[in-house]
Chain A
């Protein structure tokens, strides 16, 4: 309860919602469980994963061939080069959408400084939280680091996307000082290097960010991440099938 009239559970809204949700949930007709339907999806997902891995490999082979044969001309029968989907125009200077490692080192910022991450997204770090916002008029979304359900010394990943871009935000919580975090999604051999943003010293957490094009499929396989310190030692790893 926050004490404001009409904004807390005091007027019974909490109980009304609890009761009506309970009724709606219980009244819902549940279709029968089908192990076969889930099995079919599992097979489909495995096929997609294999396809996702196979396409970039084919591209590497084609590119290697082109390098070995510099005088080769593209004929009309050959597939045209893949033109990447146009990303949403950036609202501020932004990192490019790519899978190439970012040459930039960690960005050390003062507490409370608002940092543009590109594509109209900003972050502000404080000793106990980080906040994301999407410019004037948008709601700030703050995430506590101290109250976060994340084991010390571990990595987590927030992902948001739409049709044109995908925003990856790894968060490391612990005593280490990662200076680079590499993200691999969808079983793809291509890696996204997320740029680390940190407070000075040893703040006990760092965030990082990367933009990439969304994977071609929704069921894009497991995500793995590795955080490295300045000497290249692994600080933390992450693997999640979701």
Chain B
């Protein structure tokens, strides 16, 4: 590693961001190993450009952009695999879902979203990025983020794993207003 004065700087930065990036990667991929691989590969690429990236006003946005783009690139190359993977967990019909069950339903539903929609949903509702910030990361317009996130939410709502859950909450009046 030959980036002058950058190595320890980079390692401090990466160590501080590791948990957050890993969690985002997990929500983007739905798989621990893939998430770890994605973050490591992204940070390695960041390192190669660190002499430039470290001087950016908002390196985090750049690194998130790299993470999301790397993930999108992987998705394109694994289209065939993607078609084989979605498996929905059996949903309890008894009502009263546990948080763990909610999470597994959500992850199953997220897995069916096209990668850009999934990224838009994760950036907007997990990272709490504004449409403008998410647009910068995804390299598109805020309007495009808005429509991708909205389509993503619609698909999540219509997904068999979550549709019943949302309806149940509406009947119980438990959904946030």
> A residues touching B (Cβ–Cβ < 8 Å)?
2, 6-9, 11-31, 33-35, 37-39, 41-42, 45-46, 142-144, 147-149, 156, 158-163, 214, 218-219, 222, 240-242
Contacts and interface: CB of A to CB of B under 8 A. Distances in A.
A38 B143 contact: no
Given A7-B150, A12-B175, A12-B177, A21 B122 contact: yes
Nearest to A220: B73
Interface band, chain B: 35 or more
A161 B142 contact: no
B48 interface: yes
Given A16-B175, A28-B23, A162-B76, A42 B102 contact: no
B121 interface: yes
Chain B's interface: helix, strand, loop or mixed, by majority? helix
Contact of A16 (B49, B122, B176): B176
B8 to A, nearest CB: 10
A42 to B, nearest CB: 5
Nearest to B44: A41
Contact of A24 (B65, B66, B106, B139): B106
Contacts of B170: 11-12
A242 B99 CA distance: 37
A45 B48 contact: yes
The 10 closest A-B pairs by CB, nearest first: A12-B175, A241-B49, A144-B141, A41-B44, A15-B176, A147-B141, A33-B18, A21-B126, A18-B125, A25-B23
B111 interface: no
Contacts of A33: 14-15, 18-19
B9 interface: no
Given A38-B43, A38-B47, A7 B154 contact: yes
A120 to B, nearest CB: 15
A22 B14 contact: no
Given A16-B169, A160-B76, 16 more contacts: A6-B157, A14-B125, A18-B125, A20-B102, A21-B27, A21-B106, A21-B121, A23-B103, A25-B27, A28-B32, A39-B1, A45-B48, A147-B142, A149-B135, A219-B45, A242-B49
A147 to B, nearest CB: 4
A24 B14 contact: no
Interface of B: 1, 11, 14-15, 18-19, 22-24, 26-27, 32, 36, 40-41, 43-49, 52, 65-66, 69-70, 73-74, 76-77, 79, 99, 102-103, 106-107, 121-122, 125-126, 128, 132, 135-136, 139-144, 150, 153-154, 156-157, 166, 169-170, 175-177
Contact of B24 (A8, A14, A25, A162): A25
Contact of B41 (A9, A13, A21, A41): A41
Contacts of B23: 25-26, 28, 30
A167 to B, nearest CB: 10
A21 B124 CA distance: 10
A41 B106 contact: no
A17 B125 contact: yes
A240 B36 CA distance: 23
Nearest to A221: B48
Contacts of B18: 30, 33
Contacts of B103: 20, 23-24, 27
Contacts of A24: 27, 103, 106-107
B148 to A, nearest CB: 10
Contacts of B52: 241
Given A30-B23, A33-B18, A148-B140, A159 B40 contact: no
Contact of A222 (B19, B43, B49, B143): B49
Contacts of B177: 12
Contacts of A143: 140-141, 144
A144 B44 contact: no
Given A31-B36, A162-B76, A38 B44 contact: yes
